[in-house]
Amino acid sequence: MKRLKKFLLPILCVALFGEIYFYPFRSSFRFSAGIIVLNLIILISDPVSEFKLSLLSGMAVFLLRSTVDVFIENSSFQYIYQQNLPSGIYYVFYGALAVFLSIKKYQGKILTGILLFSAIDSLSNIVEALIRDGHVSFSMVQIIIMVGLVRSITAYIIYVLYKNQELFIQKREHQKRYSQLNLLVSDIQAEMFYLKKSMADIEKVMGKSYKLYEKYKDDRELQEDTLDIAREVHEIKKDYNRVLGGFESFLKKFETNDLMTLGDMKNIIEENTNRYLDAKELKNSICIEFDFRDNFSLKKYYSLFTVLNNLIVNALDACTSNGRIKVTQTSDKEHIYFHVEDNGEGIDEEIIPYIYNPGFTTKYYNDTGKASTGIGLAHVKNIVEELGGSIEVESKPGQGTLFTVSLPKNSLLG
């Protein structure tokens, strides 16, 4: 029953399109569009039994045409038998030839596939004509071959269009997953930066605790307490190391020699930004524009993605209604420049010297009232400096902010 259900929709399509007829060159021999659908199903469906599909299609065509002749045309059973049985035999013969010639093997070879489908169609039509009329004229054979070729070409044109659409959808899904992966790696890198900063603080606490232990040798009780603190902090340090090791192991899986073009990166960032705007319901109030002048191949694209993503999110958070953000890329002989400009609330001049300090923030979440972690810009500056570049900021309260990132080409390009 399950196997029959698998064939139900395809054979119904073949039968219904089999009722669409045309008479080429005003001949008395009629041709249907059903075989175009059958060819297409054989090409698209994987796996499928060509013979079973053709056999069931022939039965469906016979039953449908017979039903139409009985209830609409009021034809006799003899007429129905003579007119419709050859059509059913056509499909059976078609399926047998398709299996014999292993037509499925040639679906990717367009010219060979067209010729084989055309040959199977033509031979099956000749057999049908011989059963129906007892003879076939040379002119009719010519028409049959021409129609077989046209129907095969039509089926392959639809098949190629279908595959192109399928590839387009797959590419979009791949880009979406790749975009999500970039966001994940970006977030992990930010968390690693925060953990590394905490590791440095832990080292300081351990150092201070041990100094106290050395300083108060005469006070046995205090010495034991400070030593206990040092031990506990050391255990925390080991836990942090394990977490960092896990993150670093995860990231190494993505640190390959693969390259990404600036154009692809722009598309991914643009898609991520649009999703962010949709999630925040800001699409109608904030306009963002991307203008990348070059299309270099990048090898450290994860790092660059993290930098741009953080700067763009900060710009979005700084904007309110009628916000405008422009992300541009330029270059000269030795450097690549990225500019993220917004017309948001701006930054006070006295605050600018502190914006890269880890933990510094002026951002609070309205729903919780909690402050942001304040590691975004610190993380950005850290990455930029690791790449041998620099970051500058220009801002005027109430007018907007411009971040300019300068990176050496030799640190980014593959």
My answer on whether 39 and 113 are in the same domain is: yes
Tens digit of each residue's pLDDT (9 = 90 or more) over 205-222 = 777 777 777 777 777 778
User: Is 62 inside a domain boundary?
Assistant: yes
Q: What is the mean pLDDT of residues 90-96?
A: 90
- Return the minimum-mean-pLDDT range out of 64-68, 128-132, 298-302: 298-302
Report the CATH number at residue 36: 1.10.1760
My answer on whether 104 and 136 are in the same domain is: yes
Domain end point (choices 200, 233, 252): 252
User: Is 178 inside a domain boundary?
Assistant: no
Domain end point (choices 168, 195, 224): 168
Tens digit of each residue's pLDDT (9 = 90 or more) over 248-295 = 676 665 555 567 788 888 887 887 788 778 777 777 788 899 999 998
Number of domains in the chain: 3
My answer on whether 101 and 214 are in the same domain is: no
Tens digit of each residue's pLDDT (9 = 90 or more) over 341-399 = 999 999 888 888 888 887 666 655 455 444 444 467 888 888 899 889 999 999 999 89
User: Is 225 inside a domain boundary?
Assistant: yes
Q: Provide the pLDDT for residue 192.
A: 64
Indicate the angle between helix axes 77-100 and 34-44, nearest 10 degrees. 30
My answer on whether 208 and 162 are in the same domain is: no
Report the CATH number at residue 282: 3.30.565.10
Q: Provide the pLDDT for residue 392.
A: 94
My answer on whether 392 and 289 are in the same domain is: yes
- What is the DSSP track for 106-164? GTT-HHHHHHHHHHHHHHHHHHHHHHHHS---HHHHHHHHHHHHHHHHHHHHHHHHHHH
pLDDT above 70 (res 403): yes
User: Is 181 inside a domain boundary?
Assistant: no
* Average pLDDT of every residue of the chain: 80
User: Is 176 inside a domain boundary?
Assistant: no
Give the whole-number percent of the chain exceeding pLDDT 70. 81
My answer on whether 264 and 312 are in the same domain is: yes
My answer on whether 51 and 88 are in the same domain is: yes
User: Is 84 inside a domain boundary?
Assistant: yes
My answer on whether 296 and 151 are in the same domain is: no
User: Is 177 inside a domain boundary?
Assistant: no
My answer on whether 27 and 137 are in the same domain is: yes
Q: Is 320 left (phi over 0), alpha (psi -120 to 50) or beta?
A: beta
Residue numbers of the domain that contains 363: 260-412
Burial string for 265-298 (b: 16+ CB within 10 Å, else e) reads bbebbbbbbeebbeeeebeeebebebebeeebeb
My answer on whether 333 and 363 are in the same domain is: yes
My answer on whether 62 and 78 are in the same domain is: yes
Domain end point (choices 199, 218, 252): 252
Q: Provide the pLDDT for residue 371.
A: 40
Long-range CB contacts (< 8 A, 24+ apart) of 128-132?
128/86, 128/87, 128/89, 128/90, 128/93, 129/29, 129/86, 131/85, 131/86, 131/89, 132/82, 132/83, 132/86
How confident is residue 186, by pLDDT bands cut at 50, 70 and 90?
A: low
Q: For tokens 């977030």, what's the residue?
A: 187
Q: From CA 126, how far away is CA 335, in angstroms rounded?
A: 71
User: Is 180 inside a domain boundary?
Assistant: no
Better-scored residue on pLDDT, 288 or 226: 288
My answer on whether 120 and 202 are in the same domain is: no
Give the whole-number percent of the chain exceeding pLDDT 90. 14
Q: What is the mean pLDDT of residues 297-308?
A: 82
Q: Provide the pLDDT for residue 373.
A: 46
